[in-house]
């Protein structure tokens, strides 16, 4: 049977969507990436999608990725020992075991992703893939501008107790409000960097993660990503040799 039809029968996706999944290099047959949807296959071969084995009779659902606009006071762990609300509880998906992709501090608002795809979550947060995260940090005390020398220090790297930070994108959107783009993700990194240059953060919001922006999704709201958005995320964290295109 054609590989695309095989994936459709295994419940991975529609036949058309399966052709795209194959074309994107996400399918292996007997350990070898196959990009031809017409490749002949059957249950005697080991067919894998994103490293997970599929077979007819063992329906596999497309992995889910949700975008959440986290409010203040909600924690980004899957469970909280102090009984605080969690980002996971904001999504109504009882049959899916979702995990946060990275962390935001309880008092940070903005974009956080949840997924049941552990491999994707690991790659999106691994520093090796340098997926950019964009934050808006309010450091203004009464709208006082951050001087150029401090902006330069933030851009070039700040020495923290766990080492010097990698080069960052930093723009002053208006006096005392900075847009900071990081390609690494250490604990409380934005707050520690800003404090180190003498401009502690009063308010922090993440507005983008890789190719995704928070857009006009209201605080406290969630939405499931479309298959095309999930694909763009996968491309943003593609292993070497599996670059987009
Ligand atoms: N940097 C911080 O300091 N806090 C966050 O929540 C995210 C990035």
Same-domain pairing of 193 and 143: yes
Is the CB of 133 within 6 Å of ligand 1? no
The reply to whether 137 falls in a domain is yes
Q: Is 22 exposed, middle or buried (0-12, 13-18, 19+ CB in 10 A)?
A: buried
Instruction: Annotate 100-166 with DSSP letters as a single string.
Output: ESS---TT-EEEEEEES-HHHHHHHH-GGG---EEEEEE--SSSPPPPHHHHHHHHH--EETTEEPP
Is 177 a member of any domain?
A: yes
User: In angstroms, rounded to a whole number, what is the distance separating the alpha carbons of residues 144 and 198?
Assistant: 13
Q: Residue 245 — very low, low, confident or very high, per pLDDT cuts 50/70/90?
A: very low
Q: Is 190 helix (H, G, I), strand (E, B) or coil?
A: helix
184 and 220 housed in the same domain: no
Residue 59 has pLDDT above 50, yes or no: no
CATH of the domain at 148: 3.30.70.1560
Number of domains in the chain: 3
To test ligand 1's pocket by mutation, which of 138, 204, 205 has the most ligand atoms within 8 angstroms of CB?
Answer: 204
Q: Is residue 244 part of a domain?
A: no
Which of 36, 105, 119, 235 is catalytic? The answer is: 105
Q: Which atom of ligand 1 is nearest to the CA of 188?
A: 3
Q: How far does residue 179's CA lie from ligand 1's centre (Å)?
A: 13
Looking at the structure, tell me whether residues 163 and 118 fall in a common domain.
Answer: no
CA distance 236 to 239: 9
Residues 200/90, Cβ–Cβ less than 8 Å: no
Residue 108: CB within 6 Å of ligand 1?
yes
Q: Output the residue whose Cα is nearest ligand 1's atom 4.
A: 188
Supply 42's token pair. 């059957």
Question: For the chain, percent helix, then strand, then coil, each to nearest 5?
Answer: 25, 25, 50
- What does the DSSP 8-state code read for residue 39? -
C-alpha span between 100 and 95 (Å, rounded)? 16
Ligand 1: distance of its center to the CA of 48 in Å? 36
In a domain, 241, yes or no: no
Q: Could you tell me if 143 and 205 lie in one domain?
A: yes
Helix (H, G, I), strand (E, B) or coil at 74: coil
**Is residue 105 annotated as a catalytic residue, yes or no?**
yes
Tell me: do 49 and 9 sit in the same domain.
yes
Q: Is residue 119 part of a domain?
A: yes
Position 240 pLDDT exceeds 70? no
Measure 21 CA to ligand 1 centroid, in angstroms.
34
- Mean confidence (pLDDT) of the chain: 91
Please check whether residues 204 and 215 belong to one and the same domain. Answer: no
CATH number, position 15: 3.10.290.10
Higher pLDDT, 59 or 219: 219
Instruction: Based on the fold, state whether residues 223 and 122 are members of the same structural domain.
Output: yes
115 and 89 belong to one structural domain: yes
Does residue 95 form part of some domain? yes
pLDDT at 76 over 70: yes
Residues 69 and 114 in one domain: yes
188 lines ligand 1 (CB under 6 A): yes
121 and 218 assigned to the same domain: yes
Asked if the structure places residue 243 within a domain, the reply is: no
Burial code (b: 16+ CB inside 10 Å, e: under 16) for 25-40 equals ebbbbeeeebeebebe
Contact by Cβ (8 Å): 137, 193: no
120/70 same-domain check: yes
Average pLDDT estimate for 16-42: 91
Nearest C-alpha neighbor of 222 from the set 91, 71, 62, 56 = 91
Region of 37 on the Ramachandran plot (φ > 0 left; ψ -120 to 50 alpha; else beta): alpha
Are 157 and 205 contained in the same domain?
yes
Provide the CATH number for the domain around residue 85.
3.30.70.580
Q: From CA 57, how far away is CA 54, in angstroms rounded?
A: 9
Alpha-carbon dihedral sign for residues 212, 215, 220, 223: negative
* Domain that residue 28 falls in: 3-54
Give the list of residues 6+ apart from residue 129 with CB closer than 8 angstroms, or none.
123, 236, 237, 238
Ligand 1, from 191, 196, 214: best to mutate by most atoms within 8 Å of Cβ? 191
Residue 242 lies in a domain: no
191 lines ligand 1 (CB under 6 A): yes
What's the average model confidence in pLDDT over 32-57? 86
Task: With cut-offs at 50, 70 and 90, classify the pLDDT of residue 241.
Answer: low
């Amino acid at each position: 049977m054609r590989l695309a039809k095989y994936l459709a029968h295994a419940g991975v996706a529609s036949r058309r969507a399966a052709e795209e999944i194959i074309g994107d290099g996400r399918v292996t047959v007997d350990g070898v990436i196959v990009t031809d949807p017409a490749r002949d296959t059957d249950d005697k071969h080991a067919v894998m999608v994103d490293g997970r084995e599929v077979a007819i009779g063992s329906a596999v659902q497309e992995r889910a990725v949700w975008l959440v606009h986290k409010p203040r006071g909600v924690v980004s762990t899957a469970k909280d020992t102090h009984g605080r609300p969690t980002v996971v509880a904001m999504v109504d998906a009882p049959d899916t075991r979702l995990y946060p992709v990275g962390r935001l501090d309880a008092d940070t608002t903005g974009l956080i992703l949840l997924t049941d795809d552990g491999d994707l979550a690991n790659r999106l947060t691994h520093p090796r893939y340098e997926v950019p995260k964009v934050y808006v940090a309010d450091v203004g005390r009464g709208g006082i501008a951050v001087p150029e020398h401090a902006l330069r220090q933030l851009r070039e790297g700040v020495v923290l107790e766990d080492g010097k930070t990698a080069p960052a994108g930093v723009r002053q959107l208006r006096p005392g409000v900075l847009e900071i783009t990081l390609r690494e993700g250490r604990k409380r990194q934005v707050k520690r960097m800003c404090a180190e240059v003498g401009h502690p953060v009063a308010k922090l919001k993440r507005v983008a993660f890789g190719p995704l922006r928070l857009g006009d999704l209201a605080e406290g709201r969630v939405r499931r990503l479309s298959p095309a958005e999930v694909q763009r995320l996968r491309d943003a964290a593609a292993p070497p040799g599996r670059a987009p295109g």
